[in-house]
Chain A
């Protein structure tokens, strides 16, 4: 059981431009809590700091100020506790074509984290765990011998999910896990993630720019705009009753069939009212 808490975390990057250097505040005083069994969606446009938050959680970057608490204690960056943390928090990357090493087989990708997590496992036990992981993400056992280039995008992303699950983590960070996938297989991968989350009681940070899937799959939604959280609340509350104008803009930008149908049903009425104002929702 791991509870992750970000408290007033700030991340600045220095941008060098010749001799001058400017600061870019990628993440601005963000605070939230990730608990097992709950899904938190992080929504925002490109460059709003979503992936930087993921990197901070994965220890690929360190916060400029503020702190990340693990079970109430400061995040360990070295030593045995850091190793334990790395096992407890895993990540699914955005690009399934870049996140698997083209040189190695699928079996290798899954066996390494298993071996690191259970150093005492025999070769056969590791192989059994690899097959078990493949089964859990609904892939055939013979995928273990294949190379990444023989797999489709959806299959690769399933492998990436299996790899993230291999160290038996408590928290999973999914950085736009379906944005590079074909629309027709997105739902399958998302449903798989949701099922696994329920089975393992995972805490999931679901990073996306798709409000519809965020509402469908998560308990809470945070809206990120230029590095700071502008709205945070239960999923339905944020979508149906957006307070901040950026959230309203996002909600309006999402395709809403009801809204369009309503417009078609009463074209004359709307025109008579004038002003081109369409009823919302």
Chain B
């Protein structure tokens, strides 16, 4: 077998010396191993992931550094509704407030909401999804009953009721309300996956080996759920930022703090659309759209790890599977 394949390759390319193939083999395996190790922890760097990460990174950087550089976003001046450029990078509001400064603070506010909701959702959904499915029995029944109840409670009306009930809402309260209404879906997904992992042989083997139950959950089961958890968190962050923007736009958001939603709310109240003050509502709207798109792109890359069938299914990828024009010509010549 070995000799025949070597014979044919040497027949087609006679000058190739035998030594070079032998030398190439071990170096190829040596190069391959660290790559596989890295690939297990991080998704492969594709165009999608690169674009998503850089847009999200820029926005996060703006939210972190921006508020330190700009002036007070609430300062009222007598130059209302000036367009961009006249001493203010993005112009001013009706009451002469610096929109760029507001945008920096709003970015920070929205990101805080996203991160807090992401973290709380991660905790709640992995507690109710993972622990319930792993322990089983009546705990599982109770947990999935609670999850199902939370799932059918319509999210937005509940959020509106809670936020209209509390008069002075901090940004943390809004985040908590959003988190409580949004963890149930991912808890169900996690429960399903945990049920399938729980009965796999390696978990049984760990039980037979005498591992403690919490250790089986944390060391044997949890690492296999990391891609799933990551995509759930990213989704929760998108949901939180959009949800908060929606709430604030309805005037039910956090009072006295800046987020993209409150900026849009004030722009709407200040009749920016009718007055043609695009520089007031366009930047926060654009940032919401861009950040959502960037996180979605990141999520698609994570999805491709969870479900490899999604990979290489774009038209460009599939075209690459076929023969090149030269190959097709060569094939045609051979067959004719």
Residues in B neighbouring A86, C-beta threshold 8 A: 208-210
Contact B205 A91 (CB under 8 A): yes
| A218 at interface, CB cutoff 8 A | no
| B72 at interface, CB cutoff 8 A | no
| A99 at interface, CB cutoff 8 A | yes
Contact B224 A102 (CB under 8 A): yes
What 1/0 flags go to A73-114 for Cβ under 8 Å of B?
Answer: 000000000010011001101110011111110000000110
| Chain B 95-112 residues near chain A, CB threshold 8 A | none
Contact A147 B204 (CB under 8 A): no
Q: Are A83 and B210 also in contact (CB < 8 A) when A98-B200, A99-B202, A100-B202 are?
A: yes
Instruction: Give the CA-CA distance A62 to B202 in the complex, in Å.
Output: 20
Instruction: Give the CA-CA distance A95 to B207 in the complex, in Å.
Output: 17
Residues in A neighbouring B36, C-beta threshold 8 A: 147, 150
Contact A93 B201 (CB under 8 A): yes
Instruction: Give the CA-CA distance A75 to B205 in the complex, in Å.
Output: 19
| B206 at interface, CB cutoff 8 A | yes
Residues in B neighbouring A113, C-beta threshold 8 A: 209-210
Contact A58 B208 (CB under 8 A): yes
Interface residues of B, dominant DSSP: helix
Binding site for A on B (CB under 8 A): 33, 36-37, 40, 200-202, 204-211, 219-220, 223-224
| A240 at interface, CB cutoff 8 A | no
Contact A91 B202 (CB under 8 A): no
| A116 at interface, CB cutoff 8 A | yes
Binding site for B on A (CB under 8 A): 58-60, 83, 86-87, 90-91, 93-95, 98-104, 112-113, 116, 147, 150, 160, 163, 166-167
Residues in B neighbouring A95, C-beta threshold 8 A: 201
Contact B204 A93 (CB under 8 A): yes
Report which residue of B33, B204, B209, B211 has the largest number of chain A beta carbons within 10 angstroms of its beta carbon.
B209
B32 to chain A minimum Cβ distance, whole angstroms, is 10
Q: Can you give 16 contacting A-B residue pairs, CB < 8 Å?
A: A59-B208, A87-B210, A90-B208, A91-B208, A99-B204, A103-B40, A103-B224, A104-B223, A112-B209, A113-B209, A150-B36, A160-B205, A163-B205, A163-B209, A166-B209, A167-B210
Instruction: Give the CA-CA distance A94 to B200 in the complex, in Å.
Output: 12
Q: Which residue in chain B gives the minimum CB-CB distance to A105?
A: B37
Q: Which residue in chain A gives the minimum CB-CB distance to B210?
A: A86
B29 to chain A minimum Cβ distance, whole angstroms, is 10
Q: Given B33, B37, B210, B224, which contacts A101 in the complex, CB threshold below 8 Å?
A: B224
Instruction: Give the CA-CA distance A94 to B219 in the complex, in Å.
Output: 23
Q: Which residue in chain B gives the minimum CB-CB distance to A99?
A: B201
Residues in B neighbouring A116, C-beta threshold 8 A: 209-211
Q: Are A60 and B211 also in contact (CB < 8 A) when A95-B201, A98-B201, A102-B224 are?
A: no
Residues in A neighbouring B204, C-beta threshold 8 A: 58, 60, 93, 99
Residues in A neighbouring B201, C-beta threshold 8 A: 93-95, 98-99
